[in-house]
Chains A and B, each alone.
Chain A
Amino acid sequence: MNTRREQLVGVLFALPWILGFTIFLAYPLVTSFYYSFTSFSVLRPPHWIGTSNYRELIKDDVFHQSLKNTLTYAAASVPLATVFAILLAMLLNTKAKGMAFYRTIFYIPSLVPMVALGVLWLWIFNGHYGLLNEGLGKVGLPTPPWLTDPAWTKWTLVLISVWGTGNAMVIYLAGLQDVPQSLYEAAEIDGAKAIGKTWHVTIPMISPVILFNVIMGLIGAMQTFALPYVMFPGGQPARSTYFFSMYLYDTAFQFQRMGYASAMGWVMFAITLSLTLIALKLSSKHVHYEGG
């Protein structure tokens, strides 16, 4: 096929998205970037104030605290959730009786509405009578105040994030379908054990999918909102669970400072983008593509 034609065909296949991007996303993106240089109370037209919002961010203690909370959470939850989701997917990819049911059951936490989940977690992690501390107490382990001590609250959310990996798990499960059986057979002939097969066959073969999940996990962790919002309104205690997205939402809608919130959004964008580029750079040697 000549290149000219390939160019045309490529663009034609991508046309829905090119149109969708232009119609539905380009205007909101450009506009919100413009808002970040204005004072904009939502109800009144924006007013240009230059880089004032960005300069204010540099001095804003609450912004710093929410950023620190968010980065800590992301650094802990992304690796943990990744490992956990891969292990679950591999378990669900074995041949065992009733697998259809197990797969569905493992995915159920991702289907439960947030109000129900929030209330349930408050119950389980309750320092006083929660299921978790009851169990820990019985085996003689310490029973920390998961929900009320600022030193613990973030870790409570990290633990919960590990448990809610249903989407990543499903993606890995689909990815495992694409690993050719013949590769495992070849590895077995070479005398590889289960761990060796996982490390030398499975992981490299699903590495594009791992990369996808790590990047999406990172973006998701940076924008974490719903669960802390339900469990710890206002980021209490003492703003220890006040995440970036919560501060951004409050600023935009409660405080009606959309211009300042937009500046936060674009700083968030820059941080996430840098982290993603680092992840791509670090992974480029390890991600294995079959399809060029």
Chain B
Amino acid sequence: MKKFSSTGLATSRRRRVLINRVAVQAALIGLSIFFLLPLIWMIVTSLKPIDETMTSPPRWIPSHFEWGNFPKAFAYNSEDLGYIPFLVYGKNTIFVTILAVIGSVISNSLVAYSFARIKWRGREVLFGLTLATMMVPGPVLMVPMYALFKEFGWIGTFRPLWVPTCFGSAFNIFLLRQFLRTIPIELSEAAKLDGASEWRTFVDVIIPLARPALVVIAVFTFLWAWNDFMGPLLYLTDQQTFTLSMGLQFFQSQHTGTPWNLLMAASLIVIVPVIIVFFFAQKVFIKGIATTGLKG
């Protein structure tokens, strides 16, 4: 009797787990369709002949697939320019993005550590000031910002696009500070009792624990630098130094129509690397390999 009921309990429990799992999968798949809509739509549009783009009511399946749109978008304007803009712009974008990501991860982790885990006079004031800088709308800073970069002799170079990121940014500092403050103080204290300096505590104890947050910062900086349009538009002065986000502008025109299929093909070429980067970056969020073993 006793044995019987205990198996019954186990089955009902297993059934509950199973129902849970099915519900989770169903939610994941349902939401995926929802979130994939823009991508599907971009892919479909990029493979349509021009006269089937933007139809109303929407047309989801093209009459035939125009695979040629991709090479056409890739080589857009290249005859007139004498080079393939996608390659040149891609190279410039990679350059700016890599420098921005490296600079951003190093500087923000140092600064956030100071704000989160070292007690010093003036810390709270500076942190408040840091937060406040984000609340001033960007357009009103553009004129003095331009004047500043001109003073430095940086107009027409990549420097306005990546050098400032190497000094930290308010958003990333705040984000990382919040994460570092969730790490128990006892861990630092234990390291210091063992004779570790502040630097060693930072490098050996805190950085490994903060890996998910550091990856988030790297991903955000990557995205920001990759997609930035206003910065390159204002500060670059030679078409050969343009970035991919500017390259997409060339598909939209004032009076000669927009080739939507080519625009979407080009947009896909630009975002696919970002999707791949994110796919690999999100692995640090998989439970168990990051931090949990060390904590609690």
Q: Is the CB of B285 within 8 A of A103?
A: yes
Q: Which of A87-95, A136-144, A151-159 contacts B (4 or more CB under 8 A)?
A: A87-95
A residues in contact with B24, CB < 8 Å: 91, 94, 96
Instruction: Give the chain B neighbours of A124 by CB distance below 8 A.
Output: 37
Residues of the A chain whose Cβ atoms lie less than 8 Å from the Cβ of B267: 112-113, 115-116
The interface on chain A, measured as residues whose beta carbon lies within 8 A of the other chain's beta carbons, has a size of 110
Chain A contacts with B in 89-146, Cβ cutoff 8 A: 91-113, 115-117, 119-120, 123-124, 126, 128-129, 131, 134
Whether A266 sits at the interface, judged by CB under 8 Å, is yes
Contacting pair A16 B184 (CB below 8 A) = no
- Closest A residue to B296 by beta carbon equals A180
Min distance, Cβ A244 to any Cβ of chain B, angstroms: 8
Q: Which 3 A-B pairs have the closest CB atoms?
A: A20-B167, A180-B296, A10-B120
- Residues of B contacting A12 with CB < 8 Å? 114
Smallest CB separation, A258 vs chain B (Å):
6
Check A199 for interface membership: any CB of B closer than 8 A: no
Do residues A13 and B140 form an inter-chain contact, with CB atoms below 8 A? Answer: no
Cβ contacts under 8 Å, B41 to chain A: 116, 120, 123
Main secondary structure of the interface of B (DSSP, over half): helix
Q: Which of B123, B148, B264, B295 contacts A180 (CB 8 A)?
A: B295
Partner of A171, one of B143, B148, B216: B216
Q: A147: CB under 8 A from chain B?
A: no
Cα A17 to Cα B216 in complex, Å, equals: 19
Question: Which of chain B's residues have a CB closer than 8 A to the CB of A208?
Answer: 178-179, 181-182
B9 contacts the other chain (CB 8 A): no
Q: Is B4 an interface residue (CB 8 A)?
A: no
Interface check B278, CB cutoff 8 A:
yes
Residues 193-221 of chain A, each 1 if its beta carbon lies under 8 Å from chain B, else 0:
00000000000011011011001100100
CB distance B145 to A28 under 8 Å? yes
| A223 interface residue per 8 A CB criterion | yes
Which of A18, A268, A290 has the largest number of chain B CB atoms within 10 A? A290
Tell whether, in the assembled complex, residue B120 and residue A104 are in contact, meaning their CB atoms are under 8 Å apart. Answer: no
Assembly CA distance A120 to B38 (angstroms): 7
Complex Cα distance A37/B119, Å? Answer: 38
Complex contact A174–B212 (CB within 8 A)? yes
- Is A248 touching B38 in the complex (CB atoms < 8 A)? no
Given the known inter-chain contacts A20-B164, A104-B275, A104-B279, please indicate yes or no for A212 contacting B181, CB distance below 8 A: no
Task: Give A223 to B171 CA distance when docked, in angstroms.
Answer: 14
Scoring A14, A100, A106, A269 by chain B CB atoms within 10 A of each residue's CB, the highest score goes to: A14
Give every chain A residue within 8 A of B295 (Cβ-Cβ).
178, 180, 182
Residue of A nearest to B160 (CB): A24
B204 near A: Cβ within 8 Å?
no
List residues of chain A with CB within 8 A of the CB of B10: none
B192 near A1 with CB under 8 A, answer yes
Binding site for B on A (CB under 8 A): 1, 6-7, 9-21, 23-25, 27-29, 31-32, 35-36, 42, 88, 91-113, 115-117, 119-120, 123-124, 126, 128-129, 131, 134, 163, 167, 170-171, 173-183, 205-206, 208-209, 211-212, 215-216, 219, 222-223, 244-245, 248-249, 252-253, 258, 261-262, 264-266, 268-269, 272-273, 276, 289-292
With A209-B178, A252-B140 already in contact, the answer to whether A102 and B274 are too (CB < 8 A) is no
* Contact status A174-B285, CB under 8 Å: yes
Give the residues in chain A near B126, CB-CB below 8 Å: 14, 17-18
Known: A16-B111, A42-B143. A113 touches B136 (CB 8 A): no
Assembly CA distance A247 to B229 (angstroms): 20
Interface residues in B84-129 (C-beta closer than 8 Å to A): 107, 110-111, 113-123, 126, 129
- Do A100 and B175 touch (CB < 8 A)? no
Q: List residues of chain A with CB within 8 A of the CB of B175.
A: 171, 212, 216
What's the least CB distance linking A135 to chain B, in Å? 12
Minimum distance in angstroms from B242 CB to a CB of chain A: 16
Interface string of B33-46 (1 = CB under 8 A from A): 01111110110000
- Which of A119, A163, A173, A266 has most chain B Cβ within 10 Å? A119
> With A100-B279, A170-B216 given, is the CB distance from A13 to B133 under 8 Å?
no
Question: Given A16-B166, A174-B216, A177-B287, do A104 and B278 touch, yes or no (CB 8 Å)?
Answer: yes
Q: Judging by beta carbons under 8 Å apart, are A269 and B135 in contact?
A: yes
A106/B133 in contact, CB under 8 A: no
Inter-chain contact B271/A113, CB cutoff 8 Å: yes
Residues of B within 8 A of A265 (CB): 136-137, 139-140
For chain B, residues 241 to 296, give those with C-beta under 8 angstroms from any C-beta of chain A: 245, 248, 252, 263-264, 267, 270-271, 274-275, 278-279, 282-287, 290-292, 295-296
Give Cα A167–Cα B224 distance, bound, in whole angstroms.
12
Instruction: Say yes or no for B54: interface residue by CB 8 A criterion.
Output: yes
Give Cα A178–Cα B31 distance, bound, in whole angstroms.
Answer: 25
Of A14, A113, A123, A175, which one neighbours B58 at CB under 8 angstroms?
Answer: A123
Question: What's the Cα separation between A197 and B25 when bound, in Å?
Answer: 21
| 24 chain-A/chain-B pairs, Cβ below 8 angstroms | A1-B192, A11-B122, A13-B118, A14-B115, A15-B110, A17-B168, A18-B126, A24-B164, A25-B133, A94-B24, A97-B25, A111-B271, A111-B275, A112-B39, A116-B267, A120-B37, A123-B41, A174-B285, A176-B285, A177-B212, A182-B296, A183-B296, A269-B137, A291-B183
Contact of A115 with B263 at beta-carbon distance under 8 Å, contacts A24-B148, A174-B285, A269-B135 already known: yes
